[in-house]
Structure 1
Amino acid sequence: MITRETLRNLPSGVVPPSYDVTSITPGILHFGVGNFFRAHEAYYVNKVLGLPDQQSWGIIGVGLTGGDRSKRKAEDFKKQDCLYSLTETAPSGKSVRSIVGALQDYLLAPADPEAVLKHLADPKIRIVSMTITEGGYNIDENTGEFDLSDAAVKEDLSHPERPSTVFGYVVEGLRRRREAGGKGFTVMSCDNLRHNGNVARKAFLGYARARDAELAKWIEENATFPNAMVDRITPTVSKEIAERLNKESGLDDLLPLVAEDFTQWVIEDNFAQGRPALEKAGVQFVDDVSDYEYLKIRMLNASHIMLAFPGLLLGYKHIDEAVSDPDLRHLVESFLDTDVIPTLKAPPGISTEDYKNSVISRFSNPAMADQTLRIASDGTSKIQVFWTETIRRLIEGKRDLKHMAFGMAVYLEMLKGKAENGETYSPIEPTFNDRVRQLIQSSNDADGLKIPAFDGWRDLDHAELDKEVIALRQVIREKGVKAALPR
């Protein structure tokens, strides 16, 4: 295992933290300690903690779910003093290995909710960040507002001082600060959503208003919700990958992590009580992240799922395998060239052609072994975020819809859970309810077009798009995915 003691005797080639990990105090609390957080926010904070006057920005990690798997994860963090190794690998195969020490503690909220609330009320915590997935903000798909009918939310509102949801925890923490005469904190979303700070603001204020209008007003005046664009491919680490990483590093790490060498974080500089000097670690601070969001979401994320959906159906387990298929690579490149780039405003100084090439290169990185099933998961939420703007631009501009029709068709066929080679898999769609599942299972292809994934352009004339999707689904079933590819 990696512990504070073993930091003194690391294998050759493993870079230790540039600071004394025992000297760090927490200034950030983070909900959702997944691989992306560990390779992204914690990675940047780790770089900053070695700088002068930055030692008060350590991170307290919080897991919101219980169960055996969560308990084992918490135990592993504790055993390793919350240390872990990160292997950053370029498409060329060159790797850099380091130990991340930014995480100071890991709390399992269901096991000790009061411990989490005490940290949230502590004035030393100045930033509360989160990675709770694109669909985790509980925004009603019909009204666009925070969904108060959600069972967990209703339960929290019935006893708000004993919460279980991230909304309940954050608002109760802010209530305690207000009661103590303290200040608010920054609520920083690190999820892959356009205007993620605005979404977080709507969610947390929606919950707060349902609980106490005066408290909501105080939060609105004393907390901030900066928008941010986050980017780094961080695949799931299987047992086999973990064993390989440890063999290559010479470590015995219970929590090894691998990520690509590319990383980007662009944030609006809107913090309630200061922030780490992240600009010295490569983070970009801007007044408006919109153009950066559109570039990443409409090019990288949109093409990621455009590749994953047919890739799953064709039996590819990993993204690098899918993009190595000449037909799928051409699909992604053509989609970007004809549908996205002509309707996209890039940030100043960024070449969309260079960005497209970097996307293909990043997808081709075999060291990521990034699962097509992982990328395809929660497709209904991802489609709404990643494809909606492009489809709207195409419909409004009366442009060719063949790529988007194909993407929608393979998504709907992918939901059946069976590849062309007969292998089965389990699609992951956490937001689906019984009504949506019935629409998916219907023998009428038109019913599939009524699912929430496609809500973003219902106000436009989408009849031609729907017609193409229905025709392509038939082609896929009769002749296969390749026969339905846009030509």
Structure 2
Amino acid sequence: MRLSPETLQLVPAEVARPAYDRTMVRQGVVHFGPGAFHRAHQAAAFDTLLARDPRWGITGVSLHSQGVAQALNPQGGLYTLALLDAQTDYRVIGSVGQVLTGAAPAAILAALAHADTRVISATVTEKGYCLGGDGALDFAHPAIAADLAAAGGPGWVPASFIGWLVQGLAARRAAGLPGVTVLSCDNVTDNGRKLEAATLALAQAVDGETARWIGDHVRFPNAMVDSITPATDDALRAQVAAATGLEDAWPIQRERFTQWVIEDRFAGERPALDLAGATFAADVRPFEAAKLRLLNGAHSTLAYLGLGLGHETVAQAMQDAALATFVERLMREDIAPSVKAPPGLNLAGYIGDVLARFANSAIRHLLAQIAWDGSQKLPYRLLGTVQDALDAGRPIDRLAVPIAAWLRFLAAAARDGRPITDPLAGELLARAPDWRAVLAMPAVFGALGHDEDFVDAVAHAHAALEEGRLP
């Protein structure tokens, strides 16, 4: 039998279930991008909160895929979360009420403009923000250009996430509803401010009055989210079926560790997510920098170097003594000096915790998954650290190694005719045979790609990797 509200009572007692009456839940959150990371982390936090306050249920919106809706809607939004550690625990999450798709634009707009909606959140990845190399909205982006052409006309169905925000907020304004909090949960530096600027830019181009209303009534807090979430596979489905006695079309797995830091900047009522372990802070940026640079920067390093060495998962890569030593030195000696620790965070201890998390053999986190969207991730994860080191006169030899490994990853894909997952895939693969041509891409490297010290460091790292040496 399949997991559903009707079969939930059959789940064994050792599997945790929603500790509230789901029929009493109101949909207070509209979330764009209800993929694995959101369902493993934010939806689980709201699931905990719902036991105290039933007003924070989630309506998911999947603009470009039917898969999540097809998996969860027949299950009444229920799914199983596996917490991976020395002992795996299982928990059925009930915070998602339904998942809407781009095929139902009227339903999406109705959810955005519903009186119960207080938070619009997002995990749409870096590419969903349609930003240019300067971090501002890219008006030449095809989806933004399409929204500009169609906005204000009859039957406008936005092509971009930013377009949906503008249309949904305009509908709230027209209905006389209060503003909302728009909460980014993506790994983008200063994510709330960038999302705010992009939304206001498009709104101003569409309707100045709506832009002014957004500025006055809507808040875009910065946020940082951290929990390693491997992709769902058939092995997980089999484990969940054995643990629950039910078929789950799309269970989720993550490590037990989670961190969610949210800027205390809300429009109206703030959900009490601290009851679920979230931290409200006056400034998220120090937490964000520590996570993006130390954890995510090291993750990307492991991905590109590990794949080049024939490893498949993060845990396997960490069993490679030379690679594990390199990554630890990179974190402690090259990345940490660029990170200003937030109050209460000991960087040395944090690095030790990150390394232990990477080595967790219960987590099968594929390096190939981490390697996706390198052109969007590396500027935040590594290139900012490189620029800071150059500005401070610190060496960048080790920092150049993961960049060179990414260039070799691209070259191998181009040589073998393999596709890569990246919004700039076409241009990257075309330039990949000449790594210097990739460095010259301003959309990825900005002015850094023409810095002689940086180019020389990458050249030395690239030569060492070609010779089979880990510098």
TM range (shorter): over 0.9
Cα distance change of structure 1 residues 215 and 372 upon mapping to structure 2, 3 Å threshold: same
Q: CA deviation at 1:353?
A: 1.3
Tell me how far apart the structure 1 counterparts of residues 417 and 363 of structure 2 sit (CA, whole Å).
23
SS at match of 1:265: strand
Q: Which amino acid aligns with 2:448?
A: R
Q: Which amino acid aligns with 1:246?
A: A
Q: CA deviation at 1:171?
A: 1.0
The 5 A counterparts of 1:31-50 are 31-50=32-51
Tell me how far apart the structure 2 counterparts of residues 217 and 44 of structure 1 sit (CA, whole Å).
33
Q: CA deviation at 1:162?
A: 2.3
Tell me how far apart the structure 1 counterparts of residues 32 and 424 of structure 2 sit (CA, whole Å).
20
2:262 to 256, 260, 267: 267
Q: Contact conserved, 1:388 with 1:457, CA < 8 A, in 2?
A: no
The 5 A counterparts of 1:160-239 are 160=151, 161-239=156-234
Instruction: Find out whether 1:413 has 2:408 as its counterpart.
Output: yes
Q: Which amino acid aligns with 1:475?
A: A
Q: Contact conserved, 1:2 with 1:253, CA < 8 A, in 2?
A: yes
The 5 A counterparts of 1:49-448 are 49-51=50-52, 54-65=53-64, 70-90=65-85, 93-109=86-102, 111-141=103-133, 143-160=134-151, 161-417=156-412, 426-434=419-427, 436-442=428-434, 445-448=435-438
Tell me how far apart the structure 1 counterparts of residues 321 and 400 of structure 2 sit (CA, whole Å).
20
Tell me how far apart the structure 1 counterparts of residues 423 and 324 of structure 2 sit (CA, whole Å).
29
Tell me how far apart the structure 1 counterparts of residues 158 and 436 of structure 2 sit (CA, whole Å).
41
Q: CA deviation at 1:264?
A: 0.4
SS at match of 1:332: helix
TM-score by length of 2: 0.94
Q: Contact conserved, 2:376 with 2:444, CA < 8 A, in 1?
A: no
Q: Contact conserved, 1:185 with 1:223, CA < 8 A, in 2?
A: yes
Q: Contact conserved, 2:413 with 2:429, CA < 8 A, in 1?
A: no
Q: Contact conserved, 1:384 with 1:456, CA < 8 A, in 2?
A: no
Q: CA deviation at 1:135?
A: 2.4
Tell me how far apart the structure 2 counterparts of residues 76 and 301 of structure 1 sit (CA, whole Å).
29
Tell me how far apart the structure 2 counterparts of residues 138 and 72 of structure 1 sit (CA, whole Å).
23
Q: CA deviation at 1:157?
A: 2.2
Q: CA deviation at 1:33?
A: 0.7
Residue 4 of structure 2 corresponds to which residue in structure 1?
Answer: 3
Tell me how far apart the structure 2 counterparts of residues 237 and 136 of structure 1 sit (CA, whole Å).
22
Q: Contact conserved, 1:309 with 1:376, CA < 8 A, in 2?
A: yes
Cα distance change of structure 1 residues 451 and 58 upon mapping to structure 2, 3 Å threshold: same
Q: CA deviation at 1:244?
A: 3.0
My pick for the range that moved more, 448-457 or 36-45, is: 448-457
Count of paired positions: 466
- What is the aligned-residue identity percentage? 35
Q: Contact conserved, 2:448 with 2:454, CA < 8 A, in 1?
A: no
Q: CA deviation at 1:454?
A: 5.0
Tell me how far apart the structure 1 counterparts of residues 147 and 207 of structure 2 sit (CA, whole Å).
13
Tell me how far apart the structure 1 counterparts of residues 356 and 279 of structure 2 sit (CA, whole Å).
23
Q: Which amino acid aligns with 1:342?
A: P
Q: Contact conserved, 1:28 with 1:127, CA < 8 A, in 2?
A: yes
Instruction: Find out whether 1:26 has 2:6 as its counterpart.
Output: no
Q: Which amino acid aligns with 2:268?
A: Q
SS at match of 1:85: strand
* Unaligned 5+ runs, structure 2: none
SS at match of 1:275: coil
Q: CA deviation at 1:453?
A: 6.6
Q: How big is each residue's C-alpha offset from its partner over 1:149-208, in whole Å with a ceiling of 9 and x where there is no partner?
A: 222222222222322321222211111121122222111101011111011101111111
Residue 465 of structure 1 corresponds to which residue in structure 2?
Answer: 454
* Unaligned 5+ runs, structure 1: none
TM-score by length of 1: 0.91
Q: Which amino acid aligns with 2:387?
A: R
Q: Contact conserved, 1:323 with 1:329, CA < 8 A, in 2?
A: yes
Q: CA deviation at 1:432?
A: 4.1
Q: Contact conserved, 2:11 with 2:244, CA < 8 A, in 1?
A: no
SS at match of 1:15: coil
